[in-house]
């Protein structure tokens, strides 16, 4: 499998734009609530450290078997950014497997944005030889579990650190 690159994805209300370092200033404000880190750990980044992180992500994985695909979530009508989705895609002898994750800034939550973005991401992965999609979700994280369910994933009996592995097998 050649390395996958994130492409623009359109859903009903959203445009998922390939993430670039230039998104860091706006995203630092979007992701500024420490509450976003309750289940995923860490703390909000400054615009400067977010820019450095986005530059690393945009440069891609040093491992040729792995693709780092990251998007910012843009609300098309408001033309503002509201969060991110990501897929780490690993090539294997059956094609590729993807681990996905999502974050939506606190002011934009509970409007179905993560659900719509995750569904758009999974639809994109389906078109790119991905046979398995997984996500790691804390067992108490109701919102993220609901997003994963809506994107077609189901919980497995496997754990990764203190999180449950969710999975979608694509035929
Ligand atoms: C998880 C997260 C992305 C959800 O974003 P969102 O845009 O609010 O999600 P949606 O509006 O699509 O809601 C999805 C479901 O979760 C429910 N939900 C949203 N926030 C909730 C909350 N705080 N408590 C309980 N349920 C919640 C919604 O009602 C919806 O359920 P439904 O489909 O049964 O109606 C957001 O809470 C977040 O960014 N959290 C911090 C980062 C994180 O933990 N990411 C997960 C890494 S895998």
Give 134-171 pLDDT, tens digit per residue.
999 999 999 999 999 999 999 999 999 999 999 999 98
Give yes or no for residue 155 CB within 6 A of ligand 1: no
Specify the ligand 1 atom closest to the Cα of 135: 48
| Global pTM value | 0.96
Give yes or no for residue 135 CB within 6 A of ligand 1: yes
Structure tokens at 108: 């934009």
pLDDT score for 1 = 61
Distance CA 45, CA 33 (A): 10
pLDDT score for 3 = 79
Strands (E), the chain: 9-10, 14-18, 66-75, 80-92, 95-104, 130-137, 154-160, 163-169
β 95-104/130-137 pair status: parallel
Distances from the Cα of 25 to the Cα of 34, 48, 53, 62, 106, angstroms: 17, 8, 12, 25, 17
Q: Could you give the domains of the chain? A: 9-169 (3.40.630.30)
CB 9 within 8 A of CB 16: yes
Residue 87, strand partner residues:
69, 100
Query: Of 73, 64, 71, nearest to 87 (Cα)?
Result: 71
| Minimal-distance CA residue to ligand 1 atom 9 | 114
Q: Which residues of the chain have pLDDT under 50?
A: none
Testing ligand 1's pocket by substitution, the residue of 81, 103, 143 carrying the most ligand atoms inside 8 A of its CB is 143
pLDDT score for 171 = 81
Testing ligand 1's pocket by substitution, the residue of 75, 87, 121, 146 carrying the most ligand atoms inside 8 A of its CB is 146
What b/e string do you get for 130-149 counting C-beta neighbours within 10 Å, with b at 16 or more? bbbbbbbbbeebeebbebbe
pLDDT score for 120 = 98
CB 4 within 8 A of CB 69: yes
pLDDT score for 129 = 85
């Amino acid at each position: 499998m050649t390395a996958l690159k994130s492409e623009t994805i359109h859903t009903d209300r959203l445009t998922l734009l390939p993430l670039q370092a230039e998104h860091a200033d706006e995203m630092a404000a979007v992701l500024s609530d420490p509450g976003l880190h309750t289940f995923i750990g860490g703390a909000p980044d400054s615009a400067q450290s977010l820019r450095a992180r986005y530059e690393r992500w945009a440069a891609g994985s040093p491992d040729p078997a792995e693709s780092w695909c990251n998007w910012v979530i843009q609300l098309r009508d408001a033309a503002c950014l509201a969060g991110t989705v990501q897929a780490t895609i690993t090539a294997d002898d059956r094609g590729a497997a993807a681990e996905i994750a999502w974050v939506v800034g606190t002011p934009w939550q509970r409007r179905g944005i993560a659900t719509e973005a995750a569904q758009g991401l999974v639809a994109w992965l389906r078109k790119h030889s991905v046979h398995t999609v997984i996500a790691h979700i804390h067992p108490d994280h109701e919102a993220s579990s609901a997003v994963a369910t809506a994107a077609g994933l189901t919980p497995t009996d496997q754990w990764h650190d203190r999180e449950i592995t969710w999975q979608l097998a694509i035929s």
